[in-house]
């Protein structure tokens, strides 16, 4: 058991894109709320507001349906759920209060790793950070079930496995290393 220790967390490229998209949305929404607040002082016939508003609403709903629909469909191509992909290493992972047991504890760089994740007691979250401190993803470790996660680990170095599902008073101490050799 160790704390996150010397690993310094970093933003991944994916996470930066998510933040930028969200920032754009926040600025867009913020601008609308400011604009409406400014326009609230004016005296405009409600009929004029509704006529224009109802006309614009058609565009608004079309835009939203297209935006949300396309993002939902697009996201389906990038789900982390395991398919029938070839794997070169299987790592059995078991979470317990407050430790991770993993076998094997090292894989060669470039391995297509199949993590077979379960728990011996409560729900844990198997979060994996690469040697640069970027969170690659997570899967739940659940008692009585095996969740399988496939990841290609190209970067050699020390990865960190960290619990991402609250499991008790040493939850933040439930961290261990995992080696990817060059």
Residues in region 111-140 near other proteins by CB under 8 A? 121-123, 125, 127, 129, 133-140
Examine residue 82 and tell whether it contacts other proteins (CB under 8 A).
yes
Considering only residues 66, 69, 88, 154, which one is a binding residue for other proteins as defined by CB under 8 A? 69
Gap between the terminal Cα atoms of the chain: 25
Examine residue 29 and tell whether it contacts other proteins (CB under 8 A).
yes
User: Cβ closer to other proteins: 53 or 181?
Assistant: 53
Examine residue 2 and tell whether it contacts other proteins (CB under 8 A).
no
Phi first, then psi, for residue 45 (nearest 5°) are -55, 135
Examine residue 4 and tell whether it contacts other proteins (CB under 8 A).
yes
Considering only residues 8, 84, 86, 182, which one is a binding residue for other proteins as defined by CB under 8 A? 8
DSSP class per residue in 59-87: HHHHHHHHHHHHHHHHHGGG-----S---
Considering only residues 87, 90, 148, 158, which one is a binding residue for other proteins as defined by CB under 8 A? 148
Examine residue 172 and tell whether it contacts other proteins (CB under 8 A).
yes
Of residues 120, 21, 119, the one with CA closest to residue 75: 21
Examine residue 11 and tell whether it contacts other proteins (CB under 8 A).
yes
Q: Quick one: 76 exposed, middle or buried, by C-beta within 10 A (0-12, 13-18, 19+)?
A: exposed
Task: Give the span between the Cα atoms of 42 and 106, in whole angstroms.
Answer: 68
Examine residue 40 and tell whether it contacts other proteins (CB under 8 A).
yes
Residue 115 structure tokens: 């993590």
Examine residue 146 and tell whether it contacts other proteins (CB under 8 A).
yes
Examine residue 97 and tell whether it contacts other proteins (CB under 8 A).
yes
Examine residue 166 and tell whether it contacts other proteins (CB under 8 A).
yes
User: Cβ closer to other proteins: 15 or 181?
Assistant: 15
Phi first, then psi, for residue 160 (nearest 5°) are -115, 135
Examine residue 93 and tell whether it contacts other proteins (CB under 8 A).
no
Report the relative pairing of strands 111-119 and 89-96 from DSSP bridges.
Answer: parallel
Question: Is the Cα dihedral 155, 156, 157, 161 positive or negative?
Answer: positive
Examine residue 31 and tell whether it contacts other proteins (CB under 8 A).
no
């Amino acid at each position: 058991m160790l704390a996150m220790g010397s690993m310094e967390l970093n933003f991944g490229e994916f996470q930066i894109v998510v933040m930028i998209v969200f920032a754009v949305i926040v600025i867009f929404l913020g601008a609308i709320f400011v604009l409406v607040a400014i326009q609230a002082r004016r005296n405009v016939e409600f009929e004029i507001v509704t006529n224009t508003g109802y006309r614009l609403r058609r565009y608004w709903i079309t835009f939203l349906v297209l935006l949300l629909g396309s993002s939902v469909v697009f996201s389906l191509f990038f789900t982390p759920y395991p398919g029938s992909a070839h794997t070169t290493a299987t790592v059995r992972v078991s979470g317990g209060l407050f430790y991770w047991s993993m076998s094997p504890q090292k894989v060669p760089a470039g391995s297509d790793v199949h993590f077979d994740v379960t728990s011996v007691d409560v729900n844990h979250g198997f979060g994996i950070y690469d040697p640069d401190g970027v969170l690659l993803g997570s899967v739940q470790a659940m008692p009585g079930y095996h969740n399988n996660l496939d990841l290609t680990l190209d970067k050699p170095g020390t990865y960190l496995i960290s619990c991402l599902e609250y499991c008790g008073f040493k939850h933040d101490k439930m961290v261990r290393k995992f080696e990817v050799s060059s």
